[in-house]
Structure 1
Amino acid sequence: MDLDLFLTEAEELLAIPSTADRPENLYRALEFVLATLGPGFTAERFESNGKPSALVYSGKTRPRFRVILNAHLDVVPATPERFRPRRDGTRLYGRGAQDMKISALIQARVFRELAASLPYPIALQLVTDEEVGGRDGTRYQLERGVRGEFVVIGEHSGLRIVAESKGLLTASVHATGRAAHSAYPWLGENALLTLMKGIDGLMAAYPPVTEEVWRTTINLARIETTNQALNQIPADATAWLDIRYPPEDSDFDGRTSDEITKHLSAHCPPGVTVTVANLDPPHKADPTTDYVAKLRRAAENQGYSAEFLRKHGAADGRFYYQHGIDAVIFGIGGDGQHGPGEYADVTTIEPYCRALTEFLGSLAFAG
């Protein structure tokens, strides 16, 4: 790999502000990466709710792939200077450097070099909606029949392997009361106070954490009321909850929205109702498969531990998990995800490229 040339190309991609509110830039980022592949491949294009994606492979007819390399090209919003990438020693700074445009470019490079010569089919899956849920990219393609045996998602991992990630559900908690003049509180019923009793019950069951733990967590994201007057008792109140749960939590994993609603409601007093808005399963891959063993060996051969990690955030692997397809996260190193100091660790770029190349090559001799 000509690292300087690669970094120049990477900086061009990082300079594209491909955020959900700029759909034209989602297309720009996608077309940029597709252009790096050159001719000779089929690029099957998809679009859902204005979010473009692509599936690239050799041949004219889409097969069941042995390996899918999955990458997202969208990023979270940032100030303009974050889209002016800069290098500082072994760090490449910019929005999307760690999460995950650099890994995406490496996956595209490895695909370009190997796809036509491998004795089995692989695909490069490029999506532009992971940061807003992944439902119009990876999930949309799966709904249209895309299948594989094993998936490598290029999210950052420092050449370690993420075989588990938490599920995600969002819920609202609502309380009703009775409006009255605040000078005569006995004539009313404060919905905010009732709501807080419900929140207290939920937080008692799932206490806030102060250090990393592998268990279900609840984030109280917002409390609101339609009341606009200081001297009025609120008649309604609503809270937003973001809940992350591991595959081992049987109160959530494998449960329906109605079952989870009942479970959460049991921690709330009368007058408080719970509504589950979105429910996405966790992700878990079998760490004992030959695919994982070969990927770990390829990373170890580059001098990395290839240890297993658990990811607290949701990722697109959960959509493969729903279809019984093993997916792991395996990407470059870096730090500052979604923050002002986000950077890619340049020293991990070439080892990551070599590890992916070795992994795919090793499968050629596995029958």
Structure 2
Amino acid sequence: MDLLPSTERLLGIRSTADRPDDLRRALEFVLDLVGPGFTVERFEAGGKPSALVYPGEHRPHFRVLLNAHLDVVPGTDEQFRPRRDGDRLIGRGAQDMKLSALVMASVFRDTATRLPYPIGLQLVTDEEVGGRHGTRHQLDQGVTASFVVIGEHSALRVVAESKGLAAVRLHATGRAAHSAYQWLGDNAVVKLVRAVDAVLAAYPVATGEEWRTTVNVARVETGNQALNQVPADATAWLDVRFPPEDTDFTGRTPDEVAAHFAALCPPGVTVEVDHVEPPHRADLDGPDLRALQRAAREQGYSGELLRKHGAADSRFYFQRGIDAVIFGVGGDGQHGPDEYADLTTVEPYRRALVAFLEGIA
């Protein structure tokens, strides 16, 4: 609980993607909390700063890497004025994930120099906008590890699987005509609707939590602006989330995913895939994962395994064969108006991290 004043100051920093100065302020704030005596490697890509902190002069292969993101999604002015309500700390980023980040930073500060193996602290500022300029950029620069703990919220449970994502566009083309003479035209919107119907027949809208591939129709557009005209073009944007076991997506190239959707669509509809991001799965029987579960149970928590439907930076490690899990404090309201962290989980989280790091030694 000694971290509360620091957490409230960090929550007051509006570290959103469109405010580069505040991203740097948040990063420097956490680095100041870690303090001197460590090597700090600084990175920057796409205007997003990040840092890697470790003992010693030369970057090692890390036995354990603690990963935290300091950026948040946009919010109102009120959400950047944190407040307490009993055991709740309310504010943008309280649950996701500035409080966990400060716990991780303090655990690293207090244990790194006495652990008999290399440990690092990875601080990034772009997770909420894709993670490509933070975690992925550092991995591209040669950062390696055996096991990674990402401090996203989990209420001391262990997230061992999360979904991948694909951004897909369906394009329909037709022929313009006066709407009173439909037979002279070819309606692109009608084609697109049929294509979307075919996709949703293969991937129905989820009405409850299901561990399967889902497709969200995020936007539909046409260049046609006239009511009395047959539209000649239409586009639908699809957000696809898929689990590791779906081989139609996992390990596939954008061209292969495009071909998969094209096979579902009627003639006259083409498919473009902007990107395919991998899912994430840790070794469920791995000794480090089991050790982290034991550490959580020693604090009175279940340490149960969870699956995450959203994508996380853990996917970049999975892509490189590195085991990564999500393990953080409790709370609720992620990205919502009343986001909060559960303060009763803070000390157990800290003790569990320390016990895990000491236990695997």
TM-score (norm 1): 0.98
Alignment of structure 1 residues 26-105 onto 2, 5 Å: 26-105=23-102
1:152 aligned partner: 149
Q: 2:191 aligns with which of 176, 190, 194?
A: 194
Alignment of 1:169 onto 2:161: no
Unaligned runs of 5+ in 1: none
2:207 aligned partner: 210
TM-aligned CA deviation for residue 289 of structure 1: 1.1
TM-aligned CA deviation for residue 346 of structure 1: 0.4
Q: 2:282 aligns with which of 282, 285, 306?
A: 285
**1:274-320, Cα deviation, whole Å (9 max, x unpaired):** 10101101000001111011111100000000000000000000000
Alignment of 1:178 onto 2:175: yes
In 2, Cα distance between equivalents of 1:287 and 1:11: 36
The one-letter code of the counterpart of 1:99 is D
Match of 1:273, SS?
strand
Alignment of 1:363 onto 2:350: no
1:310 aligned partner: 307
2:137 aligned partner: 140
In 2, Cα distance between equivalents of 1:349 and 1:83: 20
In 2, Cα distance between equivalents of 1:153 and 1:205: 33
1:272 aligned partner: 269
Match of 2:289, SS?
helix
In 2, Cα distance between equivalents of 1:231 and 1:22: 44
Match of 2:180, SS?
coil
Bigger shift: residues 40-49 or 230-239: 230-239
2:4 aligned partner: 7
Match of 1:328, SS?
strand
**1:217-273, Cα deviation, whole Å (9 max, x unpaired):** 000000001111222111100000000000111111111111111111111000001
**1:50-96, Cα deviation, whole Å (9 max, x unpaired):** 00000000001000000000000000111111101000000000000
The one-letter code of the counterpart of 1:310 is R
The one-letter code of the counterpart of 1:239 is A
The share of aligned pairs that are identical, in percent, is 68
**1:302-346, Cα deviation, whole Å (9 max, x unpaired):** 000000000000000000001100000000000000000100000
Q: 1:301 aligns with which of 298, 301, 305?
A: 298
In 2, Cα distance between equivalents of 1:261 and 1:309: 30
- Give the RMSD, CA atoms, in angstroms: 0.6
2:251 aligned partner: 254
The one-letter code of the counterpart of 1:244 is R
Q: 1:344 aligns with which of 320, 341, 346?
A: 341
The one-letter code of the counterpart of 2:127 is E
Alignment of 1:126 onto 2:123: yes
Match of 1:347, SS?
helix
TM-score (norm 2): 0.99
Moved over 4 A (4+): none
Alignment of 1:322 onto 2:319: yes
**1:118-148, Cα deviation, whole Å (9 max, x unpaired):** 1111000000000000000000000000000
In 2, Cα distance between equivalents of 1:120 and 1:18: 33
Bigger shift: residues 259-268 or 238-247: 259-268
Unaligned runs of 5+ in 2: none
Alignment of structure 1 residues 218-257 onto 2, 5 Å: 218-257=215-254
**1:166-186, Cα deviation, whole Å (9 max, x unpaired):** 001101000001111122222
How many residues align? The count is: 361
Q: 1:24 aligns with which of 21, 26, 29?
A: 21
In 1, Cα distance between equivalents of 2:234 and 2:14: 37
In 1, Cα distance between equivalents of 2:36 and 2:17: 29
In 1, Cα distance between equivalents of 2:93 and 2:223: 38
The one-letter code of the counterpart of 1:146 is V
Q: 2:104 aligns with which of 103, 107, 114?
A: 107
The one-letter code of the counterpart of 1:196 is V
**1:18-59, Cα deviation, whole Å (9 max, x unpaired):** 000111111010000000011101110000010000000000
In 2, Cα distance between equivalents of 1:90 and 1:181: 64
Match of 2:249, SS?
coil
